[in-house]
Structures are given as C-alpha cells and as structure tokens.
Amino acid sequence: MRTSAAEGAAVPFRGLAAFLWTEVLVQAHENLAMATSIVVQGVLLVFVWILAPSLIGVALVGAVLFSMFAMGQRVLNEAAYIRIDHKANDLYLAGPLSPEAYFLGMSLGILVVYLTPVVAVGVLAEVVIRFSLVEAATLLLLALAVWVFAASIGYVFSTFFRDNRAIWAYSSLFFNVFGVLPPVFYPFDRFPAGLQPVALLMPPSAAAAILQNAIGATSLSSGELSLAVFGLAAESTLLFLLAILWARRTVQEV
C-alpha cells in the first residue's frame, strides 16, 4: 500500500547528505560569488603587507578565521533567500527531510564550495609562519568553532526576516563588528585594553587571540586564555544546539 512507503518518520538529520549535495550544486554554479568570496580578506592582507609587513603572518591567520566566519555568515543570506524567494522551506520541510539536516546541509554545502580559497590562504600562512603540528591542529579546531558559531547564528537570524533587502544591512553589520573591527587581522594586544575582554568573547577575535598566543604573536594571561577558550567553546556549542532546536521549531509558523 502506498502509505506504507512513508515509514521512519522523524529521523534526526535524515536527508543531510542529499541536501548538502543539493547546496553544493547550487553554490558551485555561482562562479562569480566564489571568485569574490575572499576579496575583503585579500584587501586587508594587502593593507597589512604595505603598512606592517612584519604582521603578515598574524593577518594571514586572521584571514583564515575571518573567512570561516564569512562562510558561516553566508548561511544567513542563503537561508533567508531560499525561504523567502523560492519557498524552499515549504518544498523541503513539508516532507521527510529533517529540519536539522536542512540547516546543516545548507551550511556544509556552502562550506564545501567556498573552502578552496581559504585553504589557499591557510597554505600561505603555513609558508610564512611554519606551524607546528599542534598549532596547525589548533588553527583547524578554532576555524571550525568560528564557522559553527557563524553558521548557527546566521541560520537563526535568517528566520526573523520577511524581506531579503533588510538582511543586507545586518549581514554587513555582523561582518564588520565581528570580523573587521576586533583584533582578527592584527595583534590582540594592540586592541584597547578596556575592550579586550569583549574581544575575547567574540568568536573570531577570541580564536585569533588564542592562535596568536600559540604562535607567540601576542601574550595572553591564563585568565584571558581561559576566557577565550571556554567562551568560544561555549558560544559555538550553545549556538549550534540553539540552531538545531530553532530549525525544528520554525518549520511550523505560528
């Protein structure tokens, strides 16, 4: 009987791989967006190279972390766009695809497609800094945490909008407040002392500070390091869990 085909309801992350692949195909056709995804980072690197070439290593590490943040931020635009313009929520979520697979598949799909330029910057950073194995692993872990935070907050935030144009302003705000202004591309100790705890609670600058500390570009006290590490871990984990719950909750409008 036809209805028997519909067994296995409510499986967490059901359809994740397939929706990830869908998003990869969608994003892979956006050649121009891929090519321009790293322009801001490139420009900031050029500024640092001209103004303070000795800081280029710090800036390259910052560019990797900032790019991961920017990729997470793309989720904000993509989730809102396909919900508002394409009614993809209605098409995909009124079916067996699980809401968390929809969120995570979209986020991972964007990550897969836009990762190549970030890896290139990472290789450049390796050439300049010569990471130890531990430092390289730390960079990977930090980049992942920053991406999880940004993708999660991007998805949650996307659900509040009914008009795409309203998002552009917020997207730009997030981009600059989290990525450009705080000490991501420059050493943590150059940031005003009174605001340093704030920077340590912002995931991209916290991650940058931890790595700068690891490679000797800045020196964090144990309290500062703890704040950065635990803050980043807690924010990323909690935001990710919130995004999963939010994805489930917002399938059904009130």
User: Residue numbers of the site for another protein (CB under 8 A)?
Assistant: 1-3, 5-10, 14-15, 18-19, 21-22, 25-27, 29-30, 82, 85-97, 101, 105, 251-254
Decide: residue 111, CB within 10 A, 0-12 exposed, 13-18 middle, 19+ buried: buried
Q: Residue 39 CB, nearest distance to another protein (Å)?
A: 21
> Based on CB atoms, which residue is closest to another protein, 65 or 88?
88
Q: Residue 124 CB, nearest distance to another protein (Å)?
A: 30
Q: Residue 219 CB, nearest distance to another protein (Å)?
A: 47
> Based on CB atoms, which residue is closest to another protein, 17 or 166?
17
Greatest CA separation found in the chain? 72
> Based on CB atoms, which residue is closest to another protein, 16 or 215?
16
> Based on CB atoms, which residue is closest to another protein, 1 or 133?
1
DSSP string, 164-192: HHHHHHHHHHHIIIIIISSTTSS-GGGS-
Task: List Cα–Cα distances, 199 to 4, 54, 60, 125, 177, in angstroms.
Answer: 54, 23, 19, 22, 10
Q: Is 37 helix (H, G, I), strand (E, B) or coil?
A: coil
State which H helix or E strand residue 206 sits in. helix 203-214
Q: Residue 164 CB, nearest distance to another protein (Å)?
A: 14
> Based on CB atoms, which residue is closest to another protein, 24 or 128?
24
Cβ-proximal residues to 44 (8 Å cutoff; 6+ apart), any chain: 59, 62, 63, 66, 180, 185
Q: Residue 192 CB, nearest distance to another protein (Å)?
A: 40
CB atoms within 10 A of CB 39: 10
